[in-house]
Amino acid sequence: MDEILEAEKFSAELDKLLAGGKASTDCDAELLRDLQAAHRLASSSLSRESGVRESLKDRLVSKGRERRPPRWDMAAAAACAAALILAPIAAEHIFLREDGRLPPFLRRLGMGGTLDAGFDSKGPLFPDGSTVYESGTGGFSPGGLVGPGTDVITPLNTQDSSALAMPKGVEMRPMEMASFRKLFRDGDRTSTTSPGYRGAASRSLGESLSYLRQKGDVIAQEFNTEGYSPLPENPFRKVTDHPLSTFSIDVDAASYANIRRFLNSSKMPPKDAVRIEEMINYFHYDYPQPEGKRPFSINTELAECPWQPGHKLALVGLQGKAIPKLDLPPSNLVFLVDTSGSMSSANKLELLKKALLLLVGQLRDEDRISIVAYAGAAGLVLPSTPGSDKSAIRAALEKLEAGGSTAGGAGIALAYQVAAEYFMKSGNNRVILATDGDFNVGLSSDGDLVRLIEEKRKQGVFLTVLGFGEGNYQDAKMEKLADQGNGNYAYIDSILEAEKVLVREMGGTLFTIAKDVKLQLEFNPSRVQAYRLIGYENRVLAAEDFNDDKKDAGELGSGHTVTALYELIPVGAKADLGSVDGLKYQKPAAPAPGHDAELLTVKFRYKDPDSERSQLITETLKDGDRPLSAASENFRWAAAAAGFGMLLRGSQHAGDWSYLKSSELAQGARGQDPDGDRAEFLGLVKKAWMLDLPQRMREPAQ
Backbone torsions φ then ψ of 273, nearest 5 degrees: -85, -10
Residue with the bigger pLDDT between 595 and 138: it is 595
Kindly calculate the radius of gyration of the chain based on its CA atoms and give it in whole angstroms: 28
Report the pLDDT value the prediction gives residue 437, as an integer from 0 to 100: 86
Helix axes 446-458, 408-421, angle to 10 degrees: 10
* C-alpha count within 13 angstroms, C-beta hemisphere, residue 697: 6
Q: Are residues 8 and 149 in the same domain?
A: yes
Among 147, 165, 183, the domain-final residue is 165
Query: Where residue 611 sits, what CATH number does that domain have?
Result: 2.60.40.1230
The answer to whether residue 136 is domain-embedded is yes
| Beta strands 489-491; 152-155: pairing state | unpaired
Among 470, 503, 536, the domain-final residue is 503
Q: Are residues 468 and 341 in the same domain?
A: yes
Q: Are residues 476 and 532 in the same domain?
A: no
The answer to whether residue 365 is domain-embedded is yes
Most confident of 237-251, 372-386, 396-410, 566-580: 237-251
Cα–Cα distances in Å, from 414 out to 209, 335, 379, 431, 453?
Answer: 37, 11, 8, 10, 12
By three-state DSSP, how is residue 249 classified? coil
Mean pLDDT along residues 450-459: 89
Most confident of 211-225, 407-421, 562-576: 562-576
Most confident of 2-11, 124-133, 449-458, 460-469: 460-469
Q: 429, 462 in Cβ contact below 8 A? A: yes
Helices (H), 122-219: 174-189, 209-214
d(CA 338, CA 519): 35
Report the pLDDT value the prediction gives residue 166, as an integer from 0 to 100: 41
The answer to whether residue 112 is domain-embedded is yes
Farthest-apart Cα atoms in the chain, separation: 90
Q: Are residues 364 and 499 in the same domain?
A: yes
The least confident of 83-87, 96-100, 330-334, 487-491 is: 96-100
Find residue 685's DSSP bridge partners.
Answer: none
By three-state DSSP, how is residue 346 classified? helix
Q: Are residues 354 and 492 in the same domain?
A: yes
What is the band of 603 on the pLDDT scale with cuts at 50, 70, 90? very high
Backbone torsions φ then ψ of 682, nearest 5 degrees: -60, -40
Q: How many residues does the chain have?
A: 702
Find residue 556's DSSP bridge partners.
Answer: 514
- Range 416-438 burial, b when 16+ CB lie within 10 A, else e: bebbeebebeebbbbbbbbbbbb
d(CA 182, CA 571): 37
The answer to whether residue 187 is domain-embedded is no
Terminal CA-CA length for the chain = 9
Residues 6+ apart with CB under 8 A from 8: 174
Q: Provide, rounded to the nearest whole percent, the portion of the chain with pLDDT above 70.
A: 67
Mean pLDDT along residues 516-523: 98
d(CA 696, CA 428): 48
Q: 384, 396 in Cβ contact below 8 A? A: no
**Other beta carbons less than 10 A from residue 363's beta carbon:** 19
Report the pLDDT value the prediction gives residue 539, as an integer from 0 to 100: 96
Report the pLDDT value the prediction gives residue 160, as an integer from 0 to 100: 36
Of 369, 514, 357, nearest to 431 by C-alpha is 369
Judge whether residue 590 has pLDDT over 50: yes
Report the pLDDT value the prediction gives residue 148, as an integer from 0 to 100: 31
Q: 404, 376 in Cβ contact below 8 A? A: yes
Q: 197, 209 in Cβ contact below 8 A? A: yes
Judge whether residue 178 has pLDDT over 60: no
The answer to whether residue 427 is domain-embedded is yes
Q: 370, 335 in Cβ contact below 8 A? A: yes
Judge whether residue 368 has pLDDT over 90: yes
d(CA 99, CA 53): 35
Query: Where residue 336 sits, what CATH number does that domain have?
Result: 3.40.50.410
Judge whether residue 188 has pLDDT over 80: no
The answer to whether residue 422 is domain-embedded is yes
Q: 526, 591 in Cβ contact below 8 A? A: yes
Residues 6+ apart with CB under 8 A from 86: 38, 41, 42, 60
d(CA 451, CA 41): 65
Domain that holds residue 394: 325-503
- DSSP label of 474: B
Total domain count, the chain = 3
pLDDT tens by residue, 79-111? 555 555 554 444 444 444 444 444 444 343 333
Residue 79 CA from chain centroid, whole number: 36
pLDDT tens by residue, 60-78? 444 333 333 444 445 455 5
Q: Provide, rounded to the nearest whole percent, the portion of the chain with pLDDT above 90.
A: 53
Mean pLDDT along residues 509-520: 96
Judge whether residue 511 has pLDDT over 60: yes
The answer to whether residue 192 is domain-embedded is no
By three-state DSSP, how is residue 568 classified? strand
Q: Are residues 499 and 561 in the same domain?
A: no
The answer to whether residue 179 is domain-embedded is no
Q: Are residues 311 and 331 in the same domain?
A: no
Of 319, 318, 300, nearest to 568 by C-alpha is 300
Q: Are residues 476 and 345 in the same domain?
A: yes
Q: Are residues 317 and 333 in the same domain?
A: no
Burial class (CB in 10 A: 0-12, 13-18, 19+), 42: buried
Q: 50, 74 in Cβ contact below 8 A? A: yes
Residue with the bigger pLDDT between 535 and 219: it is 535
Report the pLDDT value the prediction gives residue 697, as an integer from 0 to 100: 72
Judge whether residue 189 has pLDDT over 60: no
Q: Are residues 309 and 330 in the same domain?
A: no
Positions of E strands within 524-642 = 528-534, 554-557, 561-570, 598-607, 615-622
- In DSSP notation, 156-167 reads SS-SSTT---EE
Residue 475 CA from chain centroid, whole number: 14
- Range 51-66 burial, b when 16+ CB lie within 10 A, else e: ebbebbbebbeeebee
Cα–Cα distances in Å, from 630 out to 80, 187, 667, 701?
Answer: 50, 22, 15, 26
By three-state DSSP, how is residue 504 classified? helix
Q: Are residues 499 and 524 in the same domain?
A: no
Judge whether residue 612 has pLDDT over 70: yes
Report the pLDDT value the prediction gives residue 411, as an integer from 0 to 100: 83
Find residue 604's DSSP bridge partners.
Answer: 519, 617
Report the pLDDT value the prediction gives residue 481, as an integer from 0 to 100: 87
Report the pLDDT value the prediction gives residue 213, as an integer from 0 to 100: 57
**Other beta carbons less than 10 A from residue 624's beta carbon:** 12
- For the chain, give me the number of helices (H) and strands (E)? 21, 19
Among 136, 165, 194, the domain-final residue is 165
Judge whether residue 682 has pLDDT over 60: yes
Mean pLDDT along residues 101-127: 36
Report the pLDDT value the prediction gives residue 415, as an integer from 0 to 100: 93
Q: What is the mean pLDDT of the chain?
A: 77
The angle at the Cα of 325, spanning 324 to 328, to the nearest 5 degrees, equals 90
What is the band of 210 on the pLDDT scale with cuts at 50, 70, 90? low
Backbone torsions φ then ψ of 320, nearest 5 degrees: -75, 145
pTM (2 decimals)?
0.72
Q: Are residues 468 and 380 in the same domain?
A: yes
